[in-house]
Amino acid sequence: MSRHFRVLASLLCVSALVGGCKDKSEPEPTTDRTLEQLRLEVERMNKGGAPSGPPAAPTAPESPHDRLAQLAAGSEDDTPLRLRLVSRKAVPVHDGFEVRAVSLEAMHTVSGTGRLSSLTTDEYFVRLTLETLNKGQVPATQSMEGAVLEDATGQRHPITRDAQNLAGTRQLGFTAPPGEPQALVLLFEVPATALEPGLSLVLPHAGDADARVPLQ
């Protein structure tokens, strides 16, 4: 053995002693964790547990446009939701009129006669059917143009004109003969949060207090 080789061997031995002379490297922490998870999974299955599947892939949030398209295409059930009325009693309104709520429904799509056209919203169309009665002695004029739905938070939702023209009463201003009830259909567009107890129909009138018909 040459002198240079002996010196090199001595230096390597000293280096090994200083470093602890480790024969093999320590396993990576990640490997230890993986083995531990596998061990726990085997133990769980031996106790009768079902095999664990891969984690579910995160789903992207549904786009409002996608939901609207599904509703318009009829791929979701859009059976009108019948809402229970708190009262069907007649409520006195201005100029000798009485108004009585007959029915209240909510849906995502409204259609015209013969279903030739329709409108769809990702909120709700509320269809309110009313019966009005002129209790005076002579014909009188009444208008529902300013009617609004007021929810429990005080937020007011006006008549939605497109839906009203399509599937509601077209002439909201009318002359009623005395003693003859008339049916009216009003359409509003509201969020789902509005369909809660406290919903009312409000009929504003210049110079007088608003007439309020409780619905929910």
Per-residue pLDDT at 168:
95
* Mean pLDDT per 10-residue segment, the chain (216 residues): 42 43 49 70 70 54 55 63 94 89 96 79 97 92 94 97 94 92 96 96 85 95
Alpha-carbon dihedral sign for residues 47, 50, 52, 58: negative
Per-residue pLDDT at 37:
73
Per-residue pLDDT at 104:
97
Per-residue pLDDT at 32:
66
Rounded Cα gap, residues 45 and 40, in angstroms: 9
- The 211-214 sheet, strands edge to edge: 156-158, 148-150, 200-203, 211-214
Distance of CA 33 to the CA centre of its chain: 43
Greatest alpha-carbon span in the chain: 134
Per-residue pLDDT at 94:
81
Could you count the other beta carbons within 10 Å of the beta carbon of residue 183?
10
| Domains identified in the chain and CATH numbers | 77-214 (2.60.40.1240)
DSSP 146-186: T-EEE-TTS-EEEB-HHHHHHHS-S--EEEE-TT--EEEEE
The pTM assigned to this predicted structure is 0.66
Read off the DSSP letter of residue 136: S
DSSP 79-112: --EEPPPS----EE-GGGEEEEEEEEEEEEEEE-
Per-residue pLDDT at 85:
96
Helix (H) or strand (E) holding 33: helix 29-46
Per-residue pLDDT at 6:
40
